[in-house]
Structure 1
Amino acid sequence: MERVKDTIFGCFFKVGFNPDLEKDDFTKLADFFRPYIWGENGIDNALEKLHWRDYGNDLELALFQFNVNPTYAELQHLKEIESYRKNEKAIGIPIIVNEENFFKKTEKERYEFLKQAILQKMELLTEVVKKRKLDTNVDLLKSDLQKVLKEFSVT
């Protein structure tokens, strides 16, 4: 399946399965988190400025996978970064979102957490790119990412 966008970064999130929560609670949690990614002030707006063609040919998608309140069992299966998928020219980058690092924070602190979590994961992406000898200028990508995240602010 060919991607419609040529942005190098994508976002995805899922809420951890908790049998003690009602369906409405899952929906409320998802509805609360979604705008931080795709809303008017969503971080995806900053990320969509970066296009994979500007960085090389081997990495077309780095997918930030936000795991909202993952269960203990789900945490056991999460890697710091997933393996590079050559056929898709893609890599998944899990980010854990929970009460301590996000929901108990102020609005400004939540956005700051998202920005810092993304930047920290770039170090792991750098290791994968170098280890796999991918045609991806990860230093330029990190530099450009830092610039768009620095410009990205919530009033």
Structure 2
Amino acid sequence: MSENTNILSCYVSITQAYPDADQRTKDLVTEQGRLFRGYIFGEKRLSGALKILSHKDYGKDLILVLFQFYVNPILMVEQSLKEIENYRKNEKFIGMPIIINNKNFFSRSEEERNKFLKNSILQKMDVLAEVVKQKTGSKNRTT
């Protein structure tokens, strides 16, 4: 993390098909993973657009806001995800999970996919702003 100066970054976790799944299912999962990674890490995609913001411009308390995309997570993982993770003081980072599945992404048009990604990220940033406001408000009341 020390080499990276970006305050916003992306992580993609893709759930693989079960080993006993039929080949069609395995191929679909592989294709969906490839397709989604292209939206995040492909040329002129999301991760590139986020690189313009440096953590040094925002103080020293937060180094990284990590958008964690979970592609087709299993139910147990999906249920365990929080709207926003707790701030990790030692690493100075906070994770914001976003679930990607057939209903909200893969069954949509190109325009709808881009709109979903944009809206999801903006919604997470709103949640982050609210958490920061609550934390700084409670900090100010105790001092």
Fold shared, TM-score > 0.5 on shorter chain: yes
Give the 4+ runs in structure 1 shifted more than 3 A.
20-26
- Aligned-partner Cα distance in 2 for 1:78–1:98: 15
1:75 aligns with 2:74: no
Gaps of 5+ in 2: 137-143
Gaps of 5+ in 1: 134-155
RMSD of equivalent CA atoms = 1.9
Secondary structure of 1:14 counterpart: strand
Q: Which segment is superposed worse, 74-83 or 121-130? A: 121-130
Cross-structure match for 1:53: 56
* Deviation at residue 122 of structure 1 after TM alignment: 0.8
State the TM-score, normalizing by the size of structure 1. Answer: 0.78
- Aligned-partner Cα distance in 2 for 1:96–1:11: 13
- Aligned-partner Cα distance in 2 for 1:51–1:21: 45
What fraction of aligned residue pairs are identical, expressed as a percent?
Answer: 48
- Aligned-partner Cα distance in 2 for 1:21–1:28: 14
**For the structure 1 residues 55 and 21, does the alpha-carbon distance in structure 2 shift closer, same or farther, using more than 3 Å as the test?**
farther
* Deviation at residue 33 of structure 1 after TM alignment: 0.8
* Deviation at residue 26 of structure 1 after TM alignment: 3.6
State the TM-score, normalizing by the size of structure 2. Answer: 0.84
Cross-structure match for 1:6: 5
- Aligned-partner Cα distance in 2 for 1:26–1:11: 20
Secondary structure of 1:40 counterpart: coil
* Deviation at residue 21 of structure 1 after TM alignment: 6.1
